[in-house]
Structure 1
């Protein structure tokens, strides 16, 4: 069971990277046999991984075609970002942060600032949010967040080269860390919501373009 999960996660990570790099574009059918040969994983865990990505609405199962990368929707982006903002705020408000937790956030923020490729920047940004809410002991909430994060990774592909996008993210992340360090979770939650709304505004403009 554990081995199957590892294989599924390997497939999902590979596909997300391909989407982020633009190698797997909207409307393109995913070739299961070719994917199996490329990453050395059998078709069964690949199908399981694709089914999970379909549940996250990253891809669609189209009759007579197979799994296809779905088209971006401005309305869906708005719903997703507003939902994930509220869920992260709930997780944040139900967390207790130690000095070690604050240090972990600071280290992760430094990793984000030092990341130079689009894929690595995106990965480090979502890793920051993972650390931010990981102290929440609501397993259901965390499972929903993980699914939504996967979908948001799809929306944010191609933003890594935009310096202004990450400048805003960096400033807000640092403000969140300061608020947590001062034991001011209401302020941290407010900045966290602003963070996601700034990203949403950027994504909406990107979709329109």
Structure 2
């Protein structure tokens, strides 16, 4: 059996959730949950995790976890360690700054443009995901928070009709790390940040471009601001 993760493991995660929307495979759902755990910092950089250990933690079998981790290895998020498992790749502060800068260059103007072009019906279809973000924040469920946040923002960007843009942002989000989320939960501040998603939708529906720009600028700033602390 592969080795247990080195160092101190993160707190036990809840069982793998059933994600919203149609997925092509259970393996992809597992990969989504593991990716969210990486982004939230619940799987720590430099640690080696075995497939059986992660399977037990997420309440699934080892096979889809091993397959999902191989997918994440192709994305550069983990490295395979022979006879042990997978090591979470290190991400430097400089890299995180660069990812956030590129996201800001793409997401802010694209979202502002949606205040002019997106239909109210399409925007309102994203409100359930925005509410899920608030619910997950209130519950302190960081994996559910990141998953819902990803669905919301990628779904919003998809309204631009530019699939390549969505793909680029999805890759940047997957490579990011939000180590400070746990501290925000403990301080009771994550719910207030989660509310920004509902505020953003309200501004978009109202065609208030100035408010959209302000909210998006503040929101992406959190990634390298209050969300970035290693605690």
TM category, shorter: 0.7 to 0.9
Contact 1:7 1:41 in 2 (8 A): no
Once the two structures are superposed, residues 147-184 of structure 1 have per-residue CA deviations (whole angstroms, 9 ceiling, x without a partner) of 122223665653544421331341x3333223212223
Taking structure 1 as reference, are residues 47 and 124 closer, same or farther at Cα in structure 2, changes over 3 Å only?
closer
- Whole-Å Cα distance in 1 between the matches of residues 222 and 64 of structure 2? 41
Unaligned runs of 5+ in 1: none
The residue that corresponds to 1:92 in the other structure is 111
Once the two structures are superposed, residues 100-154 of structure 1 have per-residue CA deviations (whole angstroms, 9 ceiling, x without a partner) of 1232233332222223132323322333212321212212111111112222366
Unaligned runs of 5+ in 2: 1-23
- Structure with the bigger percentage of helix: 1
The residue that corresponds to 2:205 in the other structure is 181
Q: Residue 68 of structure 1: CA displacement? A: 0.9
- Whole-Å Cα distance in 2 between the matches of residues 160 and 122 of structure 1? 13
1:13 pairs with 2:13? no
Give the TM-score normalised by the residue count of structure 2.
0.67
- Whole-Å Cα distance in 2 between the matches of residues 53 and 154 of structure 1? 18
- Whole-Å Cα distance in 2 between the matches of residues 143 and 74 of structure 1? 23
The residue that corresponds to 1:103 in the other structure is 124
The residue that corresponds to 2:5 in the other structure is none
- Whole-Å Cα distance in 1 between the matches of residues 125 and 148 of structure 2? 13
Selected match of 2:165 from 132, 141, 146: 141
Taking structure 1 as reference, are residues 162 and 98 closer, same or farther at Cα in structure 2, changes over 3 Å only?
farther
Could you say what the CA RMSD is over the residues aligned between the two structures, in angstroms?
Answer: 3.4
